[in-house]
Amino acid sequence: MTGFEPLIGAAAAGLGGLITSLVKDKGTETLKKLDWDIGKNLALRKAMVDYVRRYIDRHGTLKVACVRMDYPVRLDEIYTAVQLLDRSALRYFESEAALQTQYRNSGKRSFSVTRADKKPGLQVANEQQHLMVLGGPGVGKSTFLRKVGLEALRTLGRRDFAGRDPGNLLVPQGIFYQHPCIPVMLELRQFDKANVSIQAVIAAELETCGFPESEELTELFLKNGKLLVLLDGLDEVPGSTLDHTLKEIRSLVDRYSDNRYIASCRVPTDTFGGFIRFKDVAMAAFEDEQIQQFIKNWFQKERDSETNTAERCWELLNGKDYQAAKELAQTPLLLTLLCVVYDEFQDFPKKRHALYGEALDVLLRKWASEKRIQRNPIYQELSAELELDMLAEIAYTSFADDQLFFAKERLVQQIREFLVENLNVPSHLDAETVLREIEIQQGILVERARNAYSFSHLTFQEYLTAKCIVDNQKVDQLVHDHVTQQHWREIFLLLAGLAPGKRGADELLLAMERQAQTCIINDKLKALIFWATQATQVSSGAIKSPAKRASAIYLVIDLYPAFNLSIDCACGFIRDFAYSCFLDLEDELSKEGGFNSQSINRSGKLNLLSNLTFASIWNSAKNYERIGVFSECLIQNSLNRLESMKGKILTKEFSEENYIDFMEFVVENFLKGLNAHPENVKISDEEAHYLSDYFYTLELMVRCKEAAVRVSPQVWEGIESRMVTVPNGVF
């Protein structure tokens, strides 16, 4: 049982009704003489069933081996409604500079168009009689065509049921295909023989299924507009037969324009001389709602429902550590890979470089191979390894220049220089041809606007940039120039995984440590760190020493009056570092205040809710005592000082001015109880900036260690022991 049985029976009956009515009204004399009563003519009924079943067997299931799918799944089970947008929307911006500005202002990782009006794919298929669906590799064009064909069968199945759903025919989706047509799926990459006739191909399919007079029947269908012709992969037609196939398609559409046609192509059809009857639309990248629905569809087995697998996968993908992976999920092919990986491990790998490298390889080599696409001869001369090196150089130079979008002229020049400078590349290769083939066959480089390109995914540009840095030994330069720049963060994490040899990420981590130490610029910051080291040195808590020292610094600079956003920023990075050192610390410190305490808000005024303000200081101190951040004598001293002042705030009424003076007195006494000198806690904007850079770098080092394949235990132990300590131990 496939689950399609109700559809097969109903669609076959609907197909029989359509043919019987059509032959009766408009059939030739030859056709009218035949017995079209499928209730009596069992051979004819079998032909109807066979036609529907053959379509479903070929196009109703999905298995993509190149993304590790081990078994086929029903298309209906995982299909997620796609959105289409007018091709003109993709030409809204005129230059790479405008695209860059739009991307920066969006605050998202996605390069896709977000301002364009989008429509559900089935709605567009209903509205347009001649439709050309454009989009790069793996965006779901073929799947969409298959889905429309299935919906056409469902429409046939509903013909004789007065609007009712005969059995389990429909996947709830709100939009149904409205035209009672017979779907014909033509995979154009198979048109590899000279002088192929599309009409003859359709007739041959009918004959194979057992229809009588298949040629006359095909002519009848075409003349009366009863076919839905699905032309999949216009760009995949072998070069030797391309001209004939294009001519054949145009001729068919011109002669039988009343039928409905949907074609797919990776590139604008003006490349092939245009298809003037067709409305050009483009596949829109998946948005959050579609990604979530796809994941829900994928994980719908009973055991997945019991363990909330879909919800856990979606939640993890939305975590800050997996934003680059989520960007890949905008492409259905790569989202399938992510689901397969999560299904296998119930997690996404910490070693992200392996996942992104596999995703890139799917587009570079595996997808075209699986679809048996005849690739351009340039791929016999430009190996995958050389192409990867070339793309890595392009990625690095543009990322280093802070350019995510680049002019075609510059891109062609970079390709040309690579070809000329490499002895193993044939000299006759043309740079523009290479660019075009990368765009068409792999979709790794995409034309976003006229003559303005980018990588298909920022994640790929980051991965390739990291590869170029590793291959060309630019790690020290990278650390010096970019370690505190957050848009380079993903590249550092990838570098850690790509670092080769026995030492793995050791040199990267040591270089990051050296750069972090340059942020401790003056005696005040050194004194603050030295105090934290002394105050936590003999503490009893189980959390790691660097996390204790960071927590101590967080407490004192957050409690002491500091009326600027720089302090908030520094506190955020300190908190992130402490959590990265000890994952349970977040839960521990959130129980009674901890990192959530703020005695003074950032507008410059004390919180006038006096009891809550004093309580937040008290609760923080008790919480720090409980988890053992400070030495016992220091935390007890500070608690005793607070205890002595508690009665005053409960019994005395304050004016705002007196209240401010009193609370400053409370905070100063609390700090003195911890042996923290108030003057050392009053850091400037500049000092807060350097403290932010310092703790951001330390937190990134922890994440790089986790992302690395190899790290020496001795090297990491030494690095960890020196975190949040004064460089060289003196100041």
What is the structure's pLDDT at 581?
Answer: 79
Residues of the chain with CATH 3.40.50.300: 5-283
Place of tokens 């059809």: 269
From the number of C-beta atoms within 10 Å of its C-beta (0-12, 13-18, 19+), residue 380 rates as exposed
Pairing of strands 118-120, 83-86: antiparallel
Tell which CATH classification among 3.40.50.720, 3.40.50.300, 1.10.260.40, 2.40.40.20 matches the domain 5-283.
3.40.50.300
Looking at residue 605, what is its pLDDT?
36
pLDDT at 159: 64
Query: What is the side-by-side order of every strand in the sheet holding 227-232?
Result: 118-120, 83-86, 279-283, 130-134, 260-265, 227-232, 182-187
| Spatial distance between the Cα atoms of 89 and 67, rounded to a whole number of angstroms | 31
Q: What is the pLDDT of residue 18?
A: 93
Give the 3-state secondary structure percentages of the chain, helix then strand then coil, rounded to 5: 60, 5, 30
Residue 636, pLDDT score: 92
Which residues in the chain show pLDDT less than 70? 1, 88-94, 113-116, 159-174, 368-380, 560-565, 582-612, 649-657, 729-731
What was the pLDDT predicted at 91? Answer: 56
Report field, pTM of the whole predicted structure over 0.85: yes
3-state secondary structure 130-172: EEEEECCCCCCHHHHHHHHHHHHHHHHHCCCCCCCCCCCCCCC
Q: Residue 374's pLDDT is what? A: 58
Sign of the Cα pseudo-torsion (53, 55, 56, 61, in order): positive
